[in-house]
Each structure stands twice: as C-alpha cells, then as structure tokens.
C-alpha cells in the first residue's frame, strides 16, 4: 500500500463494497431530508458524493449500485409527486440529467481509483527494481574488491619475480641462480597461498587443491632443472634448447614486468614483427636476458623529469639466419666509450648496481650462438640489441 495516499486503501470484499454503497446513499438521504439543513430541494450534491465515495472505495459494481439507489431515492423522495416512483412528465428531464451526472461521477471516481492503483503498483515495482539494483551493485562492489585483492597479490608475485636482478650476491653464479630460481619459487609460493585458500573453504576444494599442488611439484622440478642448466652454462656445455617463438617469450616477460614498470611511470610498448622463424633456445635463460634489459632500461629513466618515460621493445629479422630483438629507452644513456665496458663483470653506472646483469645476459646470448651489444641513441637514452640464430622450425 502506498504511503503517499492515505485514502488509497486496498479494495474491500464485494459484500463490504455493496454495504458501503447502501450506507452512503442512506446517509445522503437522511442528511438531505434533515429539516434544519433545508436541503430537500437540492439533494443532488449529497447523492453524487455518495456515488463518488462508493465507486472510490468499493469499485465499479458498488458504484453502480449507489447510482441506482441514488436515482430511486431522488425520484421517490424529492421529485413530485413524492413517495411515488413515477415522476411527473416535466420532472423526467431532471431525473435523466441526475442519472447521467451520477453515472459520470461514478465512472470518473472509478477511473481515478484505477489510475491511482496503477501509479502505486508502478512505484512499488520501481522501488523493488531499485532494491534489486542496489543488491546487484553491492555484489558487484564485493566482486571488484576481491578482483583488486587478487590483482594486488598477482602484482606482488610478479614484482618479486621481476626483482631477481636486485638480489645482493657475491658472484656471477649466485646472482644467476637467484634470478633463475626465483621464478619457479615465486610460482610455488603463489600456488601455495592459493592452495591454503582452497583448503580453508567450507567444504575444502580438494580437487582444485590437488591441481595446485601438482603445479607446485612441477615448479619445484623446474627450479631443479634451472640449477642444472646454470651449472651446464658455467661448464660451457650447451643449454637445453628447443624451438620457441621469440615474440611469445617477449610477451611473457612484458606481462611479468608490467607492474614494476608501471609503478616507475614508464610506458612500455612493443613492435613485434609477424612471421618470424623459430629460434633454438632455452626459454628460461632468454626470459632472464629480456627481463634484465627491461629493468636496466627502466632504471636508466629514473632521473628523467619533464618528459615521458618510454621503453620500446622491437623484434625483426636482420639476416636470413638471425632474429633481432632491441630494447630502446630514453633515459640517461651512457658514454659511447663505455659501449663494451658495460658488459664487463661488476662494471655499473648505477649507485646500487652490482654490474652482473648485462655480463650474465651476454654470456647467455653468446652461448646461444648470438650477439648482444649496446649503442647510444641520437637523442636521449640507449638501445641494447641481441641476435639469435633461427631454428629448423617456423612460427607465426
């Protein structure tokens, strides 16, 4: 029931509506015949009020009953000859006009009642829709909050993964192992946290927990294989190479480092050529090289103020048997005379750097049969490039 209209009560049962009609006409008749009011010659308004009241509260049928009773009462008690249902011929037009007026008033009252009820129902439906929309909004807000928390947890894991070149070590072997092994360990930690959340549910999600644990075991095996490959690298034995798409490798590293790059207010874009042939390489070691070049470019732009910080990664084919990857920044750059020295172990232009990242990267690229070098840009910044020989299979 609408609170805005106190007279818009629910319709009563039919018997009650008919009772309202009879009672209303009876009251109008009594008031009209009450001598002190002198309404015997003008009772029309009283009967019309009775008809309107009956049609509004009782509905169409009680309104029709009130009209019929009002016409009969008006004819019997107020039209000459009184106390007879047959009026004089010259009083018939007056009776007809009264009947038509009563019908009009009753119809109007009924129509107004229906319109008011329709308006009330529409408002109630609108309020219900508003409540439903509010519930949906609250559910969406909760979902967005959960998504934000998940994204923050993922960003934290990616930041830890991208921070491998910051590990304080005392030699090339320790720095390389820390960088390589941190990736599967970070995945193990993330999967372990996910497994704890799955097991803390009511009831615990055992099937998904089993899948997560299987991935943790796989990451542990991967960490062991990383150590084996680094030992092989130091022993000058060949890495475990397989045909891979260099563009996919670049995209994987970009996704990994995107959070760290964005926090540094650096815009990272890629221009990757299509139809490049596959290269034979160790995916983990090549990811280490690309990640190190991205982080070096980002750090080189830390002091850039008053202009955008932009990092561009491109890929292409320079010769029939070589694929070229370049990482270009608009940072502080380096002295052209240091173009070769920056790849020497422990040589660094950064106050907090150890000078191992580029040295390790060159060792990996050269062990793959490629070449890594750096050149200053014409304007600001520098570009580091490396080539890799193509494999025997092609990728799109």
Query: How many Å apart are CA 45 and CA 51, to the nearest integer?
Result: 10
Q: pTM of the full predicted structure?
A: 0.42
What are 291-350's pLDDT values in tens digits? 888 888 888 888 777 788 899 999 998 877 899 999 999 887 776 666 566 766 655 555
Cα 184 off chain centre by: 30
**Contact 289/365 with Cβ under 8 angstroms?**
yes
Mean per-residue pLDDT of the chain: 77
Q: What is the DSSP letter of 237?
A: P
- Model confidence band, residue 137 (pLDDT cutoffs 50, 70, 90): confident
pLDDT in tens, 50-82: 888 888 877 788 888 888 888 888 777 777 787
What's the pLDDT tens digit per position in 218-270?
A: 778 777 766 665 555 454 445 577 899 999 999 988 877 776 788 788 889 99
- pLDDT score at 160: 55
User: 242-394, which class in CATH?
Assistant: alpha beta
Say how far apart CA 197 and CA 54 lie, in whole Å. Answer: 66
Q: Which of 79-83, 132-136, 275-279 has the lowest mean pLDDT?
A: 79-83
pLDDT of residue 387: 92
**CB of 189 within 8 A of CB of 244?**
no
How do the domains of the chain map onto residue ranges?
14-131, 167-234, 242-394
Average pLDDT over residues 172-194: 67
Q: What is the pLDDT of residues 152-170, one digit of tens each?
A: 776 665 555 444 443 433 3
Confidence tier at 172 by pLDDT (50, 70, 90): very low
At 10, the pLDDT band (50, 70, 90 cuts) reads: low
- Considering the chain, what percentage of its residues have pLDDT values greater than 70? 76
Gap between the terminal Cα atoms of the chain = 67
- Rounded Cα distance between 384 and 374, Å, is 4
Pair of tokens at residue 326: 């370049």
Q: Of the candidates 115, 118, 14, which has an alpha carbon nearest to the alpha carbon of residue 60?
A: 14
**pLDDT at res. 230:** 55
Per-residue pLDDT band for 278 (boundaries 50, 70, 90) equals very high
Cα–Cα distance, 28 to 146 (Å, whole number): 69
pLDDT in tens, 338-385: 656 676 665 555 545 555 677 788 888 888 889 888 888 887 888 999
Q: Cα separation of 391 and 396, whole Å? A: 13
C-alpha radius of gyration, the chain, whole number: 45
Residues shown for the chain:
396
Q: Is the pLDDT of residue 100 over 60?
A: yes
Instruction: Give pLDDT, residue 164.
Output: 43
Burial track 344-363 (b if 16+ CB lie within 10 A, e otherwise)? ebebbbeeebbbbbbbbbbb
């Amino acid at each position: 029931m609408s609170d805005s209209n106190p007279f818009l009560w629910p319709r009563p049962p039919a018997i009650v509506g008919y009772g309202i009609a009879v009672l209303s006409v009876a009251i109008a008749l009594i008031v009209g015949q009450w001598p002190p009011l002198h309404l015997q010659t003008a009772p029309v308004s009283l009967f019309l009020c009775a008809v309107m009241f009956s049609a509004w509260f009782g509905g169409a049928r009680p309104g029709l009953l009130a009209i019929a009773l009002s016409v009969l009462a008006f004819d019997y008690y107020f039209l000459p000859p009184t106390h007879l249902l047959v009026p004089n011929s010259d009083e018939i037009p007056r009776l007809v006009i009264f009947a038509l007026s009563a019908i009009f008033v009753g119809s109007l009252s009924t129509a107004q009642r229906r319109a008011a009820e329709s308006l009330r129902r529409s408002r109630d439906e609108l309020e219900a829709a508003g409540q439903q929309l509010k519930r949906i909004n609250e559910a969406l807000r909760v979902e967005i909050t959960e998504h934000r928390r998940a994204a923050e947890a993922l960003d934290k894991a990616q930041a830890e993964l991208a921070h491998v070149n910051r590990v304080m070590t005392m030699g090339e072997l320790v720095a390389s192992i820390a960088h390589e092994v941190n990736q599967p360990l970070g995945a193990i930690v993330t999967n372990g946290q996910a497994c704890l959340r799955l097991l803390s549910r009511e009831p615990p999600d055992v099937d998904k927990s089993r899948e997560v644990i299987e991935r943790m075991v796989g990451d542990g095996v991967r960490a062991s294989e990383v150590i084996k490959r680094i030992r092989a690298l130091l022993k000058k034995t060949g890495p475990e190479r397989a045909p891979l798409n260099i563009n996919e490798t670049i995209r994987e590293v970009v996704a990994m480092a995107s959070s760290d790059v964005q926090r540094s207010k650096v815009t990272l874009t890629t221009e990757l050529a299509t139809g490049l042939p596959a290269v034979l390489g160790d995916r983990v070691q090549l990811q280490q090289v690309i990640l190190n070049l991205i982080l070096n470019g980002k750090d080189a732009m830390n002091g850039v103020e008053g202009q955008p910080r932009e990092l561009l990664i491109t890929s292409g084919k320079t010769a029939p048997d070589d694929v070229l990857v370049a990482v270009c920044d608009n940072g502080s750059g380096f002295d052209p005379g240091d173009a070769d020295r920056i790849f020497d172990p422990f040589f660094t232009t950064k106050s907090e750097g150890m000078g191992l990242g580029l040295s390790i990267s060159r060792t990996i690229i050269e062990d793959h049969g490629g070449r890594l070098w750096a050149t200053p840009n014409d304007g600001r910044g520098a570009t580091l490039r490396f080539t890799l020989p193509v494999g025997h299979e092609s990728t799109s």
